């Protein structure tokens, strides 16, 4: 097992990893930008190193500075968390060249699955259902027109190297194709330095279902049930729950087995997530694979009792999975609400600033808060607006909902705007309670003013 791990991230996920390491008796090194000098993760770690200015490109994305710190402090492994360098194959390779274990998959798997078009081909060849679409990236506007005419509108253009909702365009008619094509390519190039895009038939009002995987370096694979991540705004998840409502045991098993097939086809190791679109007819289609731990991993931990971060570390240390598929038991229901520093009444614009007071909810079984904030800390304007995650677990879905409503009603943050009231509105919406939602639910709700 490792003696010292560097966490190449910030905020709540850095705190989460530090806590797991501490419980495992592993020393930790935090890295921070000048804007995060007093951040919670820097105070909790055994050692902390400044790696650059506030700008991400000069700090949390600065591979050389991070690896210099790792080598200087003799760390044995680096946990990238999510975002920043978590799915960067170059960084993973550089870790290996420095004899530092990257806690994640091999660089080749990151490359293969990071290109959405190539990943789609891989899954189709493995026999996993994929959305009808182009075979790889399309080479011209004419090719996009031809596919759309054959499959019928609406269609979706997606960045081949995409993620985070960037480089995606819905095209509802031929007259809108050219602008969508050019803007998708431009956004893809700006965000990923790769303007490749592919085209798919659009699945109308699907649900977003994902399967959590653990894969060790000895050929053992597990799926830990599924999560419903359909409640999104601008392709960014807001509320997730597990298990997914209204999915049969047969379909649940088929999804899990399909996810394992995909992981095997990619030669995948460590924790990963395969995401599916689930249509109104009960059919599911591969969407993408995330080669890292997910923001929403706590709800899977709550229903399985498995600490995914600790499993990541054990796998990276060369250990075999200590459990098999037959040992996985889903217990109860869990919900996660992402609390963002943003102002819903002004179009969800970010709300950086100083937190003058914070009171986290507590006081019952089945309640967890993952956060990196404290009274007096600054929320910098340079990074993602998520500042906390509230996770509840109950014997039933309604039990988990009621716990979440109680928890959010007690959650107090002064100094910045948050989306807590907006989340409470979702939890009390009749359609959410009845499970009548899909990926377009929040946008429709906002458009209607409800």
> What does the pLDDT look like over 390-420, one tens digit per residue?
999 999 999 999 999 999 999 999 999 999 9
Query: Range(s) for CATH 3.40.50.20 in the chain?
Result: 4-103
Burial state string for 254-285 with b = 16 or more CB within 10 A and e = fewer than 16: ebbebbbbbbebbebbbbbbbbbbbbeeeebb
Confidence at residue 116, expressed as pLDDT on a 0 to 100 scale:
82
Q: What is the pLDDT of residues 247-306, one digit of tens each?
A: 999 999 999 999 999 999 999 999 999 999 999 889 999 999 999 999 999 999 999 999
Q: Helix, strand or coil for residue 213?
A: strand
Confidence at residue 439, expressed as pLDDT on a 0 to 100 scale:
95
- In 10 A of CB 317, how many CB atoms? 16
Confidence at residue 449, expressed as pLDDT on a 0 to 100 scale:
74
Average pLDDT, the chain: 95
Confidence at residue 164, expressed as pLDDT on a 0 to 100 scale:
67
With tokens 């653990």, the residue in question is 214
Is pLDDT of 208 > 70? yes
Confidence at residue 411, expressed as pLDDT on a 0 to 100 scale:
98
Alpha carbon distances (Å) from 229 to 207, 209, 260, 337, 402? 8, 6, 20, 11, 19
Structure token pair of residue 229: 């991540």
Active site residue 292: yes
| Side-chain-facing half-sphere of 290: CA atoms under 13 Å | 22
Q: What is the pLDDT of residues 298-331, one digit of tens each?
A: 999 999 999 999 999 999 999 999 899 999 999 9
Gap between the Cα atoms of 8 and 14, Å rounded? 8
- In 10 A of CB 1, how many CB atoms? 13
In what side-by-side order are the strands of the sheet with 197-201? Answer: 168-171, 155-159, 197-201
- Angle value at C-alpha 264, between 261 and 267, nearest 5 degrees: 155
pTM: 0.91
Q: Helix, strand or coil for residue 95?
A: helix
Percent above pLDDT 70 for the chain: 99
Q: Which of 120, 227, 252, 292 is catalytic?
A: 292
Q: Helix, strand or coil for residue 64?
A: helix
Structure token pair of residue 120: 């789609």
Q: What is the pLDDT of residues 67-111, one digit of tens each?
A: 999 999 999 999 999 999 999 999 999 999 999 999 999 999 999
Is pLDDT of 132 > 90? no
Gap between the Cα atoms of 272 and 416, Å rounded? 33
Gap between the Cα atoms of 403 and 410, Å rounded? 11
Confidence at residue 448, expressed as pLDDT on a 0 to 100 scale:
82
Confidence at residue 261, expressed as pLDDT on a 0 to 100 scale:
97
Q: What is the CATH T-level fold of the domain 4-103, as seen in this structure?
A: Rossmann fold (3.40.50)
Question: Mean pLDDT across the stretch 177-187?
Answer: 94
φ/ψ of residue 325, rounded to 5: -60, -35
Taking Cα atoms as reference points, which of 391, 387, 362 lies closest to residue 372?
A: 387
In the chain, what is the straight-line distance between the N-terminal and C-terminal CA atoms, in Å?
Answer: 52
Structure token pair of residue 86: 């978590």
Q: What is the pLDDT of residues 357-380, one digit of tens each?
A: 999 999 889 999 999 999 999 999
Architecture per CATH, domain 132-201, reads as: 2-Layer Sandwich (3.30)
Gap between the Cα atoms of 168 and 163, Å rounded? 9
Q: What is the pLDDT of residues 10-69, one digit of tens each?
A: 999 999 999 999 999 999 999 999 999 999 999 999 999 999 999 999 999 999 999 999
Query: Range(s) for CATH 3.30.1490.20 in the chain?
Result: 132-201
- In 10 A of CB 99, how many CB atoms? 8
Is pLDDT of 151 > 90? no
Is pLDDT of 162 > 80? no
Place domain 207-448 in its CATH homologous superfamily.
ATP-grasp fold, B domain (3.30.470.20)
Query: Range(s) for CATH 3.30.470.20 in the chain?
Result: 207-448
- In 10 A of CB 149, how many CB atoms? 12
Confidence at residue 117, expressed as pLDDT on a 0 to 100 scale:
81
pLDDT band at 135 (very low <50, low <70, confident <90, very high): confident
Confidence at residue 20, expressed as pLDDT on a 0 to 100 scale:
98
């Amino acid at each position: 097992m490792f003696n010292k791990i560097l966490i190449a991230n910030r905020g709540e996920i850095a705190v989460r990893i530090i806590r797991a390491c501490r419980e495992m008796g592993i020393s930790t090194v935090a890295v921070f930008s000048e804007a995060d000098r007093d951040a919670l993760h820097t105070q909790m770690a055994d050692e902390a190193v400044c790696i650059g200015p506030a700008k991400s490109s000069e700090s949390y994305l600065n591979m050389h500075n991070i690896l210099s710190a790792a080598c200087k402090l003799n760390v044995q492994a680096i946990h990238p968390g999510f975002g920043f360098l978590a799915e960067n194959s170059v960084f993973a390779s550089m870790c290996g060249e420095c004899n530092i274990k990257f806690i994640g998959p091999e660089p080749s798997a990151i490359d293969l699955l990071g290109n959405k078009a190539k990943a789609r081909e891989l899954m189709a060849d493995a026999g996993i259902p994929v959305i009808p679409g182009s075979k790889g990236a399309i080479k011209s506007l004419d090719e996009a027109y031809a596919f759309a005419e054959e499959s019928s509108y609406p269609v979706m253009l997606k960045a081949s190297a995409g993620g985070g909702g960037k480089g995606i365009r819905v095209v509802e008619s031929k007259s809108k194709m050219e602008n969508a094509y050019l803007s998708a390519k431009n956004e893809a190039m700006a965000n990923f330095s790769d303007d490749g895009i592919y085209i798919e038939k659009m699945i109308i009002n699907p649900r977003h279902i994902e399967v959590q995987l653990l894969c060790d370096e000895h050929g053992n694979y597990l799926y830990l049930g599924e999560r419903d991540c359909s409640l999104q705004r601008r392709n960014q998840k807001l509320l997730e729950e597990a298990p997914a409502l209204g999915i049969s045991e047969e379909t649940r098993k088929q999804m899990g087995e399909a996810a394992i097939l995909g992981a095997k086809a990619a030669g995948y190791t460590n924790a990963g997530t395969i995401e599916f679109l689930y249509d109104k007819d009960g059919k599911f289609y591969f969407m993408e694979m995330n080669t890292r731990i997910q923001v929403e991993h706590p709800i899977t931990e709550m229903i399985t009792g498995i600490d995914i971060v600790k499993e990541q570390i054990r796998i990276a240390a060369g250990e075999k999975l200590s459990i098999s598929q037959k040992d996985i038991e889903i217990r109860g229901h869990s919900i996660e609400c992402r609390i963002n520093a943003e102002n819903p009444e002004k179009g969800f614009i970010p709300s950086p600033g100083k937190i003058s007071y914070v009171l986290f909810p507590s006081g019952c079984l089945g309640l967890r808060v993952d956060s990196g904030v404290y009274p007096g800390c600054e929320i910098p304007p340079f990074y993602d607006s998520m500042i906390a995650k509230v996770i509840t677990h109950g014997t039933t879905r309604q039990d988990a909902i009621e716990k979440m409503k109680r928890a959010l009603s007690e959650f107090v943050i002064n100094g910045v705007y948050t989306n807590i009231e907006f989340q409470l509105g979702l939890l009390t919406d009749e359609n959410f309670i009845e499970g009548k939602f899909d990926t377009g639910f929040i946008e429709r709700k906002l458009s209607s003013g409800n």
